[in-house]
Structure 1
């Protein structure tokens, strides 16, 4: 179906392939630099006191980035999906008979919840088996040296006790499974309530020993927080990458300079703060340097690669074809669901419900202001992009 029939007239009036190509190359460089800088700050900044993931500055900046991601899901991705799946180029049946954009976004959120839950359980069990095996080896070696036994066997009670702690009994610091109820229940049993809890929190920081809360940003997580951050960082990268491909492709196939110019600034801003949020999750997950580098490069290169691919197929690609609109709409819907879930549950709720945030009024005020500022600024970019 021709572009003039399906709403391509406006962009066709402003077609300038040579000027558009120059702007696309500028977009590749700008977005690449923004993504690299954004994701590198939390990863490299671990060595700097002000940029470490346990600093108040990082908490506030991450709240801003969470607002950016939330607005990206609600205002940009979900809106784009709705427009694509309700485009007049699509057949009336079934695309005009049902709100597919909202449905796909909802299903993506629910599937993300399931993946979040299963992924957390998998990594907890994997970590638990590793720790239990290491402790068993230590105890066996000790038993052999002390008792002179040929074979050292741990009593069943010791293994059971160890496994109980590994798999989440509250006595030893329950591991976080998805959901704030489990999180809250753990702290009701493990820590004092109200002002006493905050006093203990402050004391732990001043003493600097003997408690998980001395680790700053991971106040409520302790050692188990690494498991959650591993899952969060991987799912968040999946959601970001899936919509980055569509964004890059859309920019790459456009031949309208007036369309591309505002997209360069908007997408650079967007890429920087998405990278910052993702880099913070990767840093807190404590991946090995190689794994962290691979994840960072994958994120930084996705949008520029999408733009390059769009340039390559711009001569034959029809953004108003049924296949293109359905693919774009479904991917945008899925991305919206993933990003909204991750922003609300694993970034905003996890940080704003933490003990550290509850016990620091100034940090609360600053973080909420940064959250609304990030969401507001990212939403306002919808005027141009």
Structure 2
């Protein structure tokens, strides 16, 4: 090994951008905006068309497969894009010598545990609210006779159709040793049965559990947006020679990621149309915002040489990787395949679902060669 090469100090000065075509860079902001908007709004448009037309089982399964494609995209984003970028950032000589080489992995683990903690707290809050509502309903039932049109079995309602839940119900309509009928309701996943007593207006609806789904979606969008703003800044400060190929790759990257997020947004049925549109707009504007920041800061940008910028980029990429790993593996794949529509799907449909996941992961991994 050449000892003189080891003594060379790294160049940690500001980046010099030659042949910077400002009109082209500004125009690219709007192109990325349009491509991102097309991708993230496409699942909402498809869902709207299906609602207005014939709701065939084939059309519904197409949406399921598109969602599995999106899950594969998000898995690959975490493993292929974010984690390698984080390790490369923390290995930059301008950041200085680290006493702990596994910083990216440790921060990604923090992202996983942080997401798990947030969702676990949400589950506990929902469970406590349902427990109190059931206790109140049982207390009212014991203190007052039920109306003639209401029986104890009316506690059970048909389970709403949902991609990530299943249930078991057991009935004993005969007189037991205590002389009353018994109803047991067990619910798994994210959807709980609705408990309703019209005489005292005590209602526990599935909206309680859907709040957990909304929280999961917000966490997913946060992880994607952390990553997207960094992509935008990187594109705007890329040298002119490498800019065209990176621009094309990022267009595809935004389209795949937008479709993945869009399919997750339409899967949360409790979101209002305004909230859905707001989440879509947030995604399709965050990368252009990052590009605008890069354009404005291009003259004194030192992202690849500033220790502060390197720490910020590496930390955000690592945390985003942990967030997306939890959401994709637990909320999207495990929930769908263990409790959702693919839990008891036929062998051909299961193969199609797996192929959709693999295709999304493969295409996003291919883009990882350039971005």
Give the TM-score of the pair, scaled to structure 2.
0.73
Is the partner of 1:17 in helix, strand or coil?
A: coil
Is the partner of 1:258 in helix, strand or coil?
A: coil
Q: Is the 8 A contact 2:79 2:321 kept in 1?
A: yes
1:228-268 C-alpha deviation (Å, 9 max, x unpaired): 431221111111111111111122222x1232222222222
* 1:74-153 correspondence to structure 2 within 5 Å: 74-94=79-99, 97-122=100-125
Normalized per residue, which structure has more strand? 2
Counterpart CA distance in 1 for 2:143 and 2:253 is 53
Give the TM-score of the pair, scaled to structure 1.
0.70
Counterpart CA distance in 2 for 1:287 and 1:273 is 22
1:274 and 2:257 aligned: yes
Is the partner of 1:287 in helix, strand or coil?
A: coil
Counterpart CA distance in 2 for 1:222 and 1:313 is 50
Q: Is the 8 A contact 2:68 2:353 kept in 1?
A: yes
Q: Is the 8 A contact 1:173 1:190 kept in 2?
A: no
Is the partner of 1:92 in helix, strand or coil?
A: coil
Name 2:226's counterpart in structure 1.
242
Name 1:333's counterpart in structure 2.
318
Counterpart CA distance in 2 for 1:127 and 1:284 is 23
Q: 1:309 aligns with which of 279, 287, 293?
A: 293
Shift of 1:8: 8.4
Shift of 1:359: 2.3
Normalized per residue, which structure has more helix? 1
Counterpart CA distance in 2 for 1:297 and 1:343 is 21
Is the partner of 2:95 in helix, strand or coil?
A: coil
Shift of 1:36: 1.1
Is the partner of 1:48 in helix, strand or coil?
A: helix
Q: Is the 8 A contact 1:42 1:280 kept in 2?
A: yes
Change (3 A) 1:233 1:375: same
Change (3 A) 1:356 1:81: same
Name 1:348's counterpart in structure 2.
333
Name 1:231's counterpart in structure 2.
215
Counterpart CA distance in 1 for 2:128 and 2:274 is 23
1:65 and 2:70 aligned: yes
Is the partner of 2:26 in helix, strand or coil?
A: helix
Change (3 A) 1:127 1:384: same
Structure 1: runs of 5 or more not aligned: 137-152, 159-164, 192-217
Q: 2:364 aligns with which of 378, 381, 384?
A: 378
Shift of 1:374: 1.1
Shift of 1:155: 4.6
Name 2:148's counterpart in structure 1.
none
Q: Is the 8 A contact 1:226 1:284 kept in 2?
A: no
Q: Tell me the number of residue pairs that the alignment of Structure 1 and Structure 2 aligns.
A: 313
Name 1:258's counterpart in structure 2.
241
Counterpart CA distance in 2 for 1:31 and 1:379 is 20
Shift of 1:7: 7.7
Shift of 1:99: 1.1
1:68-106 C-alpha deviation (Å, 9 max, x unpaired): 111111111111110111111121143xx3210011001
Is the partner of 1:119 in helix, strand or coil?
A: helix
Shift of 1:118: 1.6
Counterpart CA distance in 1 for 2:251 and 2:129 is 38
Runs (4 or more) in structure 1 with deviation over 6 Å come to: 50-54, 126-129, 171-175
Shift of 1:173: 8.9
Q: Is the 8 A contact 1:24 1:260 kept in 2?
A: no
1:37-87 C-alpha deviation (Å, 9 max, x unpaired): 222122232222299898111111111111111111111111111011111
Shift of 1:28: 1.7
1:296 and 2:280 aligned: yes
Change (3 A) 1:154 1:276: same
* 1:27-38 correspondence to structure 2 within 5 Å: 27-38=28-39
